[in-house]
Structures are given as structure tokens and as C-alpha cells.
Structure 1
Amino acid sequence: MTGSADEPKAQTPNDSLSFGRLGIRRAQLLKNLQHFVVAAELGSFHKAADRLAIVQSALSRRIGDLEAQLGGRLFEREPTGVRLTLAGAALLEDASRILREVDLAIRRFDLIDSGQVSLLRVGFNGAAMMFAPVPDGLQAFRSTNPTVELRLTPMLSEQAFQALAAGTIDLGLAYDLGYPHSLKSRQLVLDDLALALPEHHPLASRPKLVVEDLEGADFIGMDLAQSGLMAEKVALALHSRGVAIRVLMETGSTEATLSLVAAGLGIAFVNRSQAGRHPPNVIIRDVAGFSVPLPLKLFWREEIETPVLLRFAETLAAQFGTAGGVA
């Protein structure tokens, strides 16, 4: 009987050995980087050894190990001390950043472990920020929950679902495009698509636009690799009315799309919430007979639901005046 696809792959002794060696090498590299940074900042192995409370020969050995690991020289030895090579100077910048992030991770862990602060990682769709209740809700939550650290990361809706599945975010502020999931959610508002077009476009002067007016029009479409579900919904809505358009190019963000529309390179569908926040020579119009409802929701995995997470959801929902509960 074969195992299911969900069962973890059994580790072989070689896998365990390789992983163990990798862990040792990583630990050695981090320790060597610490010694390297001190030596680089002081410009002297002697002074660095004193700072680190080790003998100079041990420091030289660690720098030599690091150079061997990286396969190149980090310092030029001079009578008055040491000078970084070009490669060493580049490594100093990266190593300093890595060590700062390690220190930050340790401090953050200590704070969370001691109950002094909580961490909430939120992935948000940039278009959602066009709704005033979103930034207002973030400010309200921060003011009433000062011990909660909010880490906000912009991402498209489809990326948010992938990040939730991978566990790299705790909450996704995203549009429900029909992406298959088993997440809990709280709807905030219902958005829709509208048409963005240059103010001097032939369609802009029409008192009313209907979907049939778009037949054969040049469009700036959505990047299929990042927004495939949204693009599919648009295509289905047009096909249902027998309308065919020409997609001249694709973009991965609303900002880029509106810039191209402003340059007169085509027209595009954007979230209706963009109305009032677009370039001055671009207008946003509704199109009769065309609608792609976009519920904006908060999503999260049930197994990581915490009082802090629920307070965040309730705070944002209250800013929208959203009644009803969690789905």
C-alpha cells in the first residue's frame, strides 16, 4: 500500500547528515561574520581581538575560515592594520544588515515570549488602501493596542492566499476572487470594476457607456501570472455579452495601469475605489452591462485565531460599519 501525497517524505540518513552539516556551516558563518564586522569597523585585527576578548591569532583564523568559505579575500593586510577589499566592503554592508536582523529577531522573540508585545503580520491589497476606513482602522487598532506590532506587507489578492497557506502572514486583506480555500473571513465592503480612460479618449465624451461600446478597444490588461483569477473574471464578463477587446500589454499594479492610461496607451479596468485617486487626465466611468463584484474581506486560518487577531478584524469592520460576523 502506497502512502498518501499528504504524508511527509521520510528522511534518509544522508538527508539528515546534509541538513546537520548545513546547520553547522550556517552557525559557523554567522559567528565568523560577527568577527569580520568588528575587524572591518575597527580596521585592525589587534583592536578587534581586544573588543571581542579573544587572542589575535584566533581572530585571524576565523577571518581566514570566512575567506575560505566565501572563496575570496576580504582584507588587504597593511603595516598599520587592515583594509577591506572591494568584495569585503560589499560583504560588510550585507553582513551588518544580517546581524542587525538576527538581533532584531531575538529581541522580538524575547518581547513576545515575555508577553510584552504581540506580532500580527498582515498582507494587504494596495487597492484596499483607497478605502478611507482601512488606514483609519489601522490607526485605531494601533492606538488601542500599543503592545501589538503590526507588520504590513503589500501583495495582490492571489499572493495573499498563497502567503496565508504558507504561514508567512497571519491575516490577508484581499478581494475574494473565488480562490479555493478553507479560511475564515470577515467581509468589509463590496467593490466593483470600472473603466479608466484618458480624458480625451473617444469614449470619454459619451454621456453613458455600455459594455458594447468596448468592442475592439485597446486595453491595458492584468498580469496573468499575478492576477490570473481577476483577468479570468473580466474575460468571462465580457464574453457573456459577446464583447471582444484587444489587450496590448499587461501590468502587475493599479499604479502602473493608471500611468499607462494617463499616457494614452490604452484603457483599463480598475477598482471603482480608485475613483478620485487617479492622474488628473484620467477619468473613471461605470460601464452599463459590465460588473465584476469584488468583496473585500479579511482572511485568516482558523488554527491561528487569537484574541488579538479577532480584535484587529473587529476594529477594521467597525470602521466600515460592517454588521454581521465571521464566515
Structure 2
Amino acid sequence: MELRNLEHFVAVAEEGSFTRAAERLHLVQSTLSVSVKSLEKELGGPLFDRSTHHVALTDAGRALLVEARHALAAVEAARDAVAAVHGGLRGTVRVGIMHSLTLIDLAALLTRYHREHPEVQIVPSTAQGGSVELAAQVTDGRLDLAFVSLPGGRPPGLSVHPLATEPLLLACQDDHPFARRSVVPLAELDGERFVDFPAGWGTRLSVDRLFLAEGLRRVIAVEVTDIPTVTELVRAGFGFAFLTASLTRDSPAITLRPVRPTPQFAVSLVTPATRRLSAAARALADLVLSMFDPAAQQVRTRVRPGRETRGGR
């Protein structure tokens, strides 16, 4: 079994297409097809179902994909280790990033890493499925590490390193009665309409868990994937939202109020617990953790009674 065959197989599996995989690998499609067929012949069975326009993995293909990613990651780690001995880290680090990650100065962190390890290529990516999808991609090897918000437990196969937390505040219209309250009891939001992010996003997970624990319900009137749209819908009276002060720093004015009990937005770094990181990825993880002293991991955002807190001000 040759490494290039595994690389070709993984590319087709991830792209769901021989054509797109060939473009990604800078190969002609016939060469890629021959490589995959050679691997199938060696393993004694088909790895892809080619009966549809979208190439799908067979059961054997799904089983191989996990092991192929691990094997390629191990080879990359071996190359990185030798490169480090000869005077510097090289390779690629695939980093998952939440949408609107404002609680951490990620740009400064990555700039410092690039300055210390200029030969390493950092490939950031987001996911429409939010933190849940990013965590799954770290587990199966598509990402080396990721910044996520996963309240309520440690997913299997991952190591979770807490970095910072911030309270989620109730966003409402300026002229709503809640805007004149110093604190809003969570129970008073039972049955209300909300504008929220998709189910896999960290803020949504935190609020959903708290409402469930308190025996309350809320109506998700609409799901959106960006902060400006959320704030505009709140201003238009479409519903309430839960946001943090840092998320609304550059948004149009809306009133934010603390609620009791308070949902929390917690950012963590997740790394694989069942496979070894490459030297380049391990160096990035070490840098992240070194910049967050455990004694200062919590960002405390307090709203004094009687004072308005508005996004964008």
C-alpha cells in the first residue's frame, strides 16, 4: 500500500468527486482513477459507489478513511520531527475557527506563531455546523485543532482546554420594558420568540441547555449565521436574542440586559486525544495555552444595575 494511493483516496472522499479531487491534487483524472482502482484491488473490494453523480463511500471506504487519515498524519508528524531537528518547523496546521470569534485576539496569536515559525502554513477554516462540526472534524482528522464552544461535557476522542468565558446577555429593543430592568429573570422569557444561531453553534448550545435545565421553553423564530443580521432582527422586534458584549461591540445599538440564571459563552481549544499532533500543530497548541493563564481564563463582563449596555458603543 503506497502513501500516494491513500492521499488520492482521501482527496476523493473529502471532495465527493474525482474531478474536484484531481483539480485539488493537480492530477489528470485518469491518473487519479487508476490510483484508486489500484488501492481497491489491493484491498479486495470497492471503496466508492460510482453509481451516482455524487461519489459516495462504501462501508469499506468509510472504515478506511479513518485509518488513512491517521496514517497520513503519522507520516506528516515524522517529517516534521526530522525537520525540527534540522533547524525549524515545517508543514501545515489546519485550524478550525468559530464564526465571530471575538473573545480571543486570534489575529495577534497567529501573527506571533507565524513570526516564530515562518515555514509553517496555517490553513484556517470555519463550518456552517458551528462548534459541533468543528469538533467532529478534529476527531476524524480533517482538522488538527479548533477553537470551539462546547458547553456541558467533553466529547469522546477530544482533549478540551478552556480558554475564556463571557456571560450571554439578553438583547432587546431599546423601548422594550426589559430594557429598563437591571436584571431579567430567565423565567420571564418562557415561551418568548428568539432570533438565534444554528443548533451546533456554541451560544445556541449554552442557551438551549440552560432553558432545558430550568424547565422553560422558547420559540426560535429564525436561525441566522451572522451577528449584524441578529441585531437588525432584534431592533425590528422580530424577537429577543442572547449575545455577548464582545460580539456586539461593532453592531448597531441594541440594549443588553443580564439574566438570572446566566448562560455562559465559553471558548476552548480542542485537540485530538487519540492521535499524536504534528510538531507544528503541537507548537501552535502550546502557544495558545501559554497565552491563557488559568488564573485569568475568565473574562468577567458585569452590567451595573440601572446602566444600559449597548452593542456598538
Length-normalised TM-score, structure 2: 0.59
Aligned to 2:210: 237
Aligned to 1:200: 175
Aligned to 1:158: 132
Aligned equivalents of 1:276, 1:28: Cα separation in 2: 49
Structure 1 pair 233/298, CA: closer, same or farther in 2 (3 Å)? closer
Q: List per-residue Cα deviations over 1:286-311 (Å, max 9, x = no partner).
A: 212232x3432111224232332222
**Aligned partner of 1:139 among 92, 107, 111:** 111
Mapped contact 1:198–1:281 kept (Cα < 8 A): no
Aligned equivalents of 1:133, 1:231: Cα separation in 2: 22
1:319 partnered with 2:291? yes
Aligned to 1:270: 243
By how many angstroms is 1:314 displaced? 2.6
Aligned to 2:91: 118
Q: List per-residue Cα deviations over 1:72-99 (Å, max 9, x = no partner).
A: xxxxxxxxxxxxxxxxxxxxxxxxxxxx
Is the radius of gyration larger for structure 1 or structure 2? 1
**Aligned partner of 1:310 among 273, 282, 292:** 282
Structure with the bigger percentage of helix: 1
Structure 1 pair 304/192, CA: closer, same or farther in 2 (3 Å)? farther
Mapped contact 1:238–1:290 kept (Cα < 8 A): no
Mapped contact 1:194–1:287 kept (Cα < 8 A): yes
Aligned equivalents of 1:233, 1:188: Cα separation in 2: 16
Structure 1 pair 117/242, CA: closer, same or farther in 2 (3 Å)? closer
Structure 1 pair 276/254, CA: closer, same or farther in 2 (3 Å)? closer
Aligned to 2:148: 174
In the comparison of the two structures, how many residue pairs are matched? 218
Which residue identity lines up with residue 317 of structure 1 in the other structure? L
Aligned to 2:121: 149
By how many angstroms is 1:208 displaced? 2.5
Flag structure 1 segments of 5+ consecutive residues without an equivalent: 1-21, 32-108
Aligned equivalents of 2:147, 2:162: Cα separation in 1: 10
**Aligned partner of 1:259 among 232, 244, 248:** 232
Mapped contact 1:131–1:273 kept (Cα < 8 A): yes
Aligned equivalents of 2:198, 2:242: Cα separation in 1: 13
Mapped contact 2:186–2:260 kept (Cα < 8 A): yes
Aligned to 1:189: 164
Aligned to 1:299: 270
Structure 1 pair 311/259, CA: closer, same or farther in 2 (3 Å)? farther
By how many angstroms is 1:136 displaced? 1.8
Structure 1 pair 132/173, CA: closer, same or farther in 2 (3 Å)? closer
Mapped contact 1:122–1:171 kept (Cα < 8 A): yes
Flag structure 2 segments of 5+ consecutive residues without an equivalent: 1-17, 32-75, 84-88, 297-313
SS of corresponding position for 1:320: coil
- 1:210-225 aligned within 5 A: 210-224=185-199
Aligned to 2:51: none
Aligned to 1:285: 257
CA RMSD of aligned residues (A): 3.3
SS of corresponding position for 1:127: coil
- 1:52-91 aligned within 5 A: none
Which residue identity lines up with residue 165 of structure 1 in the other structure? T
Mapped contact 1:186–1:313 kept (Cα < 8 A): no
Aligned equivalents of 1:127, 1:28: Cα separation in 2: 38
Mapped contact 2:172–2:179 kept (Cα < 8 A): yes
Structure 1 pair 30/281, CA: closer, same or farther in 2 (3 Å)? farther
Aligned equivalents of 2:280, 2:183: Cα separation in 1: 47
Aligned equivalents of 1:163, 1:314: Cα separation in 2: 20
